[in-house]
Structure 1
Amino acid sequence: MPMNMPPVSPAPVEEYTDRRDRPLRDLDGPREMPITLALNDEAVATLLATPESLEPLAIGHAFTAGWITRRDQVADITVSRLRHGLRVRLGVPARLARQAARRAPCEASVSSCGACGALEEAEVMAGLTRLPPHPVLSGEALRQGLAALEARHCRGQHTALGLDARGEVMTQGQDIGRHNALDRVIGESLLNGTPPEAVLVSSRCSLELVQKTVRAHIPTLATLSLPSALAVEVARACELNLVCCHRGRSLELFSGRLS
């Protein structure tokens, strides 16, 4: 994608609270992990979810997805480790497992998580790469974007903005799902051939927002509230500038470059 914008000036150090060296275990944000749900030995879906109370999550998802119609159709539940996350196996009659496997490719989230619906954990991590070093947007430019985000707020929906180096809005996406709003910004950028310097999303930062931003080769992702530890870990590995804006009160840089 061509870059048709002036070079970004390095952000003054004092504009950001530097959290790039803060250990993942000390982060205050929400926890999330890829949780693969399997019926018998067949993976049916992978959710990005908090890794607590997994039995209720698995049973509830299986019921609302139509894999089961009664609790007593699940004979046993076992949890095991995977490379990045956890696998929850539900023991069910073979007939139900076959029916769910046939439906699995059609099961995709429409609001909460852009990765939910993937069959295997590896699909959740696919396509990630290390971005070229690039300084984060200046604090002044990012605050200009925050003002635009507040002005464009749409009740009941998330808003994503594509910003240029000065914090001016290039593209806008709104949707009930934060990942869908980001997809709209990325899609518009692909259509007009001009990628933004940064994307600003009116939500917390979870893994799928990092994934989408990295895949689009956008150097900076800023969100309104705290990132999950997994989002920070992947952002650091990919050299993505990841910023928490604390709803405009302060700016914290969790990964990337100041200059």
Structure 2
Amino acid sequence: MNPGHRPARALRIEDGAGQAAQESLAEETAVALLYNGLPHAVMMATPADLEDFAVGFSVSEGLVAAASEVRVVDSVHGEHGISLQMHVPQAAFDALSQRGRSLAGRTGCGLCGSDTLANAIRPVRRVQGRPAVGERLRAAFDELQANQPINARTGAVHAAAVRDADGRLHVREDVGRHNAIDKAIGAALRAGSAPCELFVTSRASYEVVHKAATVGIGLVAAISAPTALAVRLAEEAGLTLVGFARGARYTIYGRTDAGWL
């Protein structure tokens, strides 16, 4: 069985007539993230590319400064889900212990579990360098579309792609859009290259932009609209934000040094 999907018997109705069918359904399971034995988050996720997820989540959430600071030491599959046991340096663990977040995340959850407003809306880092938006935007989404095997079978998952400093595009899928982003970021980091651009099959929310800025990504492009908070955050981070990226059409939001685009 592919870890991203499983077969299921179904009855397909068309024009009032029923026909037995076998469908592929996206897998969704609880994935617990533990650091030095301390539970931090339980996310509903697709159980594929979990090491990418662990590394990407750790860096994009600012729990560690670099991928080299987190190590997956065990992956325990149990009756109720999967536990990812990770080790981080003592300084990172001490900061994590004070963070005040015990996250039980629904599918696609971004801020679930933050216990204060200050923890929910966190300051964003300033991105160094801003990639130009050009024809390769369409090429990136074409490649993203062509590399979604789970969604091709199930029609039920999001996808994200990260272009790294070496020009490679890392595509990952998940039932949660934030999870897909973490997986794609983790894939780039584990390949030893810096993430530069992010492409997502969803809207561009606050959390999407914040994760991108945290790892130094200078361009975020989404097939749907951004939120107003996402645009404000992109301006604060100096990040280029693109919405409605479909074919040859797209919309650029926010300010550059030259003013409104």
Q: Deviations over 1:59-79 (max 9, x none)?
A: xxxxxxxxxxxxxxxxxxxxx
Q: Give 1 or 2: higher helix fraction.
A: 1
Q: Is the 8 A contact 1:227 1:244 kept in 2?
A: yes
Q: Is the 8 A contact 1:222 1:242 kept in 2?
A: yes
Name the structure 2 match of 1:116: 112
CA distance in 2, matches of 1:142, 1:249: 9
Name the structure 2 match of 1:237: 236
CA distance in 2, matches of 1:249, 1:108: 39
Taking only aligned residues, the RMSD between alpha carbons, in angstroms, comes to: 2.5
Q: 2:139 aligns with which of 137, 141, 144?
A: 144
CA distance in 2, matches of 1:221, 1:133: 13
Q: Is the 8 A contact 1:242 1:255 kept in 2?
A: yes
Q: Map 1:155-166; keep pairs closer than 5 Å.
A: 155-164=155-164
Q: Secondary structure at the match of 2:233?
A: helix
Q: Map 1:94-243; keep pairs closer than 5 Å.
A: 105-138=101-134, 140-153=135-148, 154=151, 155-164=155-164, 169-243=168-242
Q: Secondary structure at the match of 1:189?
A: helix
| TM-score (norm: length of structure 1) | 0.54
Aligned pair in 2 of structure 1 residues 148, 238: CA closer, same or farther (>3 Å)?
same
| TM-score (norm: length of structure 2) | 0.53
CA distance in 1, matches of 2:191, 2:165: 17
Aligned pair in 2 of structure 1 residues 194, 127: CA closer, same or farther (>3 Å)?
farther
Aligned pair in 2 of structure 1 residues 256, 222: CA closer, same or farther (>3 Å)?
farther
Q: Give 1 or 2: higher strand fraction.
A: 2
Letter paired with 1:157: V
Q: Secondary structure at the match of 1:226?
A: coil
Q: CA deviation at 1:107?
A: 4.0
Q: CA deviation at 1:144?
A: 0.2
Percent identity of paired positions between Structure 1 and Structure 2: 32
Q: Is the 8 A contact 1:137 1:165 kept in 2?
A: no
Q: CA deviation at 1:165?
A: 7.4
Q: Secondary structure at the match of 1:174?
A: strand
Q: Secondary structure at the match of 2:110?
A: coil
CA distance in 1, matches of 2:248, 2:257: 19
Q: CA deviation at 1:246?
A: 4.0
Q: CA deviation at 1:164?
A: 4.8
CA distance in 2, matches of 1:119, 1:185: 27
Letter paired with 1:122: A
